[in-house]
Structures are given as structure tokens and as C-alpha cells.
A and B are shown apart, each in its own frame.
Chain A
Amino acid sequence: MDGGSAGSAVARSKWGKVRVGSRWIAAVPPAIALGMVAAGALGVVGTALELVPEHPVVSGIAVALATVSPLVGLVWVLLVDRSTLEGAADRPEDSVEASWYEKAASGAFTDILLVTGLGCTALAFAPIEVAGLHALMAVILVAFASFGVRYAVQRRKG
């Protein structure tokens, strides 16, 4: 529901609100409920897949517990109408933070191309085998690190 405008009629709050029909309700309770349902579903999948064959139920519970927090957060991000959040700018696209984000993202993209390119070249000649999962995790870490550092630099510059 992000992107819609609540206008000035809806009071803003710290955690925002979500529109249900013609009413506005606090965004946190439905986010917690839906996040827990999604985590439970993942737990069932984890149990069915028998991630730990000796203890399939325990592994399913572990999956559910590990994913419930990020899933609640993700559902909140998807549900909340940002115009109902305290302190949220009405036109974030015109704010300086959007400029910092774009510069950091474009710089991080260049860094990812550079690092993956150099990494591929090095691995082509080096007698090392790298698992695909580890390589992708490394790419994600480089992306996060590059973006984070570049955004921090932009923010410091003002």
C-alpha cells in the first residue's frame, strides 16, 4: 500500500498506519500477525524438507524462529503507508537523501562489476574451487559494504 497518500486527514504515528477499506488502522498488529503466519509457513516447509533429518520438527521451529523478525519487518514495510509516519517527508524524491541514495547505488553497481570481474579473472587462473553459494554471498556482502560506505560518505559531505 506504499505510495498512496493518506493526506492530512490521518494523524501520523511513529509506526504508521495501513488503510483497510475506508478505515485506517495501526500498521504494526497486522504486520506481526502476517509475519508470524509467513514464518510459520516457512517453518512447515522447513519441517517437510527435513533440513535436519534426525529432528525435522525442531529444524522447522528453528526456521520459523529465525525468520519471524525479518518477515514481520518486511510485511510492515510492504503494508505501511509512509505518509502516515511521523517525520516522513511528503516528497522524498526531492530530498537530498534521494540524491545520496542514487549516488551510492550507482557507485556500488560499479564496484560490484569491478569486484566480480576481477574475481572471475582471478578464479579462472587460480587453482581454487569456490562454491556458487559462497560466491553469491560475497557479491551481496560487497554490494552492502560498498553502498553503506558510499552512503555514509555522501551523508558526511552533506
Chain B
Amino acid sequence: MRNSLAALRAKNGWSQQRLADELGVSRQTIISIEKGRFDPSLPLAFRIARLFGRLIEDIFVPDEE
């Protein structure tokens, strides 16, 4: 699954550690999500979307689309 997490994070001027702290996960989790190697759980995806004031589908896009 592709995502625009890195761009959204950069837009807010946040480091990976800052975003990880905001979401209550490890920094490695942010790294893995941004690289597209880890698909977050639905609760985590909702928290990410809420944090950036977006819809989940605005941030995460399935590969085939």
C-alpha cells in the first residue's frame, strides 16, 4: 500500500520521532510505514488520519489503484 505519510509529516515540519510520539508507536514503525513495508492497523490508520485532519483514503492508497 502506498501512502503520503512522509509528505504530510514534512509539511508539518515533524521528525519521524515526533510523529511516532504523537501516535504512540515506535520510530521504526513510522520508517516502515513511510517506506511502504508495513501496513498500519486500522486503529493506527484512523489515528494518523485524525492527526493530519484527513480521511484514511486520502493518505493510504492500495497499490493497484
Contacts and interface: CB of A to CB of B under 8 A. Distances in A.
Interface of A: 89-97, 99, 157-158
B44 interface: yes
Contacts, number: 44
Interface residues of B, number: 17
Prevailing SS type, chain A contact patch: helix
B37 A91 contact: no
Nearest to B43: A94
Nearest to A99: B38
Given A94-B29, A96-B32, A89 B24 contact: yes
A94 B26 CA distance: 9
A95 B25 contact: yes
Contacts of B38: 96, 99, 158
Interface string B18-38: 001001111011011101011
A94 B44 contact: yes
Given A89-B20, A95-B29, A158-B37, 18 more contacts: A89-B24, A90-B25, A91-B23, A91-B24, A91-B44, A92-B25, A93-B41, A94-B23, A94-B40, A94-B41, A95-B28, A96-B25, A96-B28, A96-B29, A96-B32, A96-B38, A99-B38, A158-B32
